[in-house]
Amino acid sequence: MTGGAMGIGQAIAFRLSEAGARVTVADIDFQAAAETADQIKARGGKAQAVCADLGSMVDIERMVQTAVEVFGSLDILVNNAGIYPLSAALNIHEQLWDRVHDVNLKGIFFCSKAAAQQMIKAGRGGKIINISSVDAFRPTQGTAHYSASKGGTAMLTKALALELAPHSILVNAIAPGPVATPGNKELTNLLQTNEKAARRFISRIPLGRVADPDEMAKVALFLASAAADHMTGSVVLVDGGYLLS
């Protein structure tokens, strides 16, 4: 589980743990990851925290190897970690573009590769769940770099699903719409401080509200379960109808 310290990642970690999974909570913020792991253990689950920067191949390999060494196997990978620095396209510099793609796309590929190698070695198949975004299909202002990375995530999901299917490794993605998370400060500030703008934003969502992180976690639990054993290469929209408007 990458980006498991807070928000959607933390919610998925809690749901998978409740279902019996032993969870490796990987995050660049080790203290926050450790706190999430402690919460899981306090609820009777099994978890460990790992510090990992997905821009580092060394960190990715260490994260996967640690999960295998501590828990004996790696059966489910959730690629949740992502960054969302808003910037007008004409203000995006090379370092910002590279950092967004290192975490949001390159990191997903190499985490998936490392995990798949372990799954193939174990011979039991596995599940890989990527977190994409509605921005993969309809960009918003200031997200050219982010939208490109999430569009890439959607297509990478399909490409990996095709190649890994012979090994019984199923690869699917979730594309969340607006979700209220600690990391989405722009949305949180809008909803809390600008009532008029908040109403206008909410009016674009047919269900009339932003999602809670646990609503993404429930879909991740479904994709990780036997109920989704004939699904691969799918990108599941969980957006309250946002793309319909």
* Dist. CA 17–CA 48, nearest whole Å: 11
Q: Where are the beta strands (DSSP E) in the chain?
A: 22-27, 46-51, 76-79, 126-131, 169-176, 235-238
Q: Is 84 a residue of the active site?
A: no
Q: What pairing do the DSSP bridges indicate for beta strands 126-131 and 169-176? A: parallel
- 100 by Cβ neighbours in 10 Å (0-12 / 13-18 / 19+) ranks as buried
Q: Please, which residues have CB within 8 angstroms of residue 185's CB and are 6 or more apart in sequence?
A: none
Q: Which of 14, 84, 110, 146 is catalytic?
A: 146
- Which positions are catalytic? 146
